[in-house]
Structure 1
Amino acid sequence: MICSLAGCAVQVYHPTRTRAEQERDIKICDDQGYYSSPHDPLLAYQLAYDCLEGKGYQRRKSRPASVGSARPKA
């Protein structure tokens, strides 16, 4: 699930929550982060992520780049 927090996108997941529960939690934490720090989007993002982490959410690990995707050396 992708969570839009303070203009940034982060992928988070919770192993036991339904999609509806995840959407509700993300909305609550996103709102909490924004209202706690409306003029500092980076702080709002961190507050929202901390809220989700407190509810047991984890960041999705990014996928490694495929071997063939690297640019050739000049």
Structure 2
Amino acid sequence: MTSISAPTPYATVAAGLQSSSARVDRDATAIASSQGDINPTDVVSLSSDALTFKALTKVAQTVDQNSQRLLDMFA
């Protein structure tokens, strides 16, 4: 029998943070190496990645709070 398991919320958040961090690094490098001719797409992408990173940290906080509430219910 094959077992299928869903990823934990923390694993999902961690994967998203790693992906977002890699995109921030890529976009920041592109902007830094542009030598004055900055591609607006890189700037928008960098801003979007920052918002994604911030949203994922809020998701992690919410998961933590919900886990604490669940533990409190069974304590």
Fold agreement, TM-score > 0.5: no
**Structure with the higher fraction of residues in strand conformation:** 1
TM tier relative to shorter chain: 0.3 to 0.5
The structure with more radius of gyration: 2
**Structure with the higher fraction of residues in helix conformation:** 2
User: What is the TM-score normalised by the length of structure 2?
Assistant: 0.33
Q: Which has the higher contact order (CA 8 A, sep 6+)?
A: 2
